[in-house]
Amino acid sequence: MEWTTLDAGGGAKLSVRLFKPAAPVEEAEDVAVVLVHPYTILGGVQGLLRGMAQGLAQRGYRAVTFDMRGAGRSTGRASLTGSSEVGDVVAVCRWVADNLKPRAILLVGSSAGAPIAGSAVDKVDQVFGYVSIGYPFGLMASILFGRHHDAIIKSEKPKLFVMGTKDGFTSVKQLQNKLKSAAGRVDTHLIEGAGHFQMEGPAFDAQMVDLIVNFIKSLPK
């Protein structure tokens, strides 16, 4: 595990953490996974993604977490709608591409991190796919994050949407209706009985790692 700091502009210096495999894993792809944490204003920080990042490293993948502006150890000011934070995701992905030089990058967003990551998918050429964990598509959440919907819906890059059937922000029907118009390959995985905040907890880390790894393996080489 390594720490670094990078400048994302606008007065934001981001605290970045790299999780590396202890030893090579034969079947692992040369893909780096960048994980985007939940809503900063509700206490979202990169530490919430540590279990998933460690699990991915154990499976042979380099995983990167970071505090978005105004969160955790990062400087700068969080925005209400996640608009400034899209630039943070892009900056981290470009740092990964330039310094780790993987074959490709997979972007994973959790909760409010999902719309923010979704807006960054087509801004970095090396990103070849996207995984959303609990994307807040519902009506109330859309007041804050609706501006991000188009970017991921219109992206041709493969995407996987993981959601609990008891998600309090988005119903299964809302998710299905939203994805009807999505471009490119769109996969969904529903977790029966799981609520929105439950899925952010450590009890689901291993299941999320499995879903992410299987999705990577399904993507074109």
The alpha-helical segments, DSSP class H, found in 78-184 are 83-99, 113-120, 139-145, 149-154, 172-179
Decide if 98 contacts 131 (C-beta within 8 A): no
Mean of the per-residue pLDDT values for the chain?
A: 94
Range of the domain at 132: 2-218
Residue matched to tokens 């007065």: 11
* Residue 26 reports pLDDT greater than 90: no
Check residue 28 and give its pLDDT: 84
Check residue 139 and give its pLDDT: 85
* Residue 23 reports pLDDT greater than 90: no
Question: Taking residues 127-148, what's their average pLDDT?
Answer: 93
Decide if 55 contacts 129 (C-beta within 8 A): no
CB-based contacts of 43, cutoff 8 Å, min separation 6:
none
Total number of domains constituting the chain = 1
Query: Residue 147 sits in a domain of what CATH number?
Result: 3.40.50.1820
Question: Taking residues 155-181, what's their average pLDDT?
Answer: 96
For the four alpha carbons of 115, 79, 31 and 125, in that order, the dihedral sign comes to positive
Beta strands in 24-69 (DSSP E): 31-36, 62-66
Confidence label for 80 from pLDDT (cuts 50, 70 and 90): confident
Q: Tens of pLDDT along 81-93?
A: 999 999 999 999 9
Amino acid, res. 218: S
Decide if 91 contacts 6 (C-beta within 8 A): yes
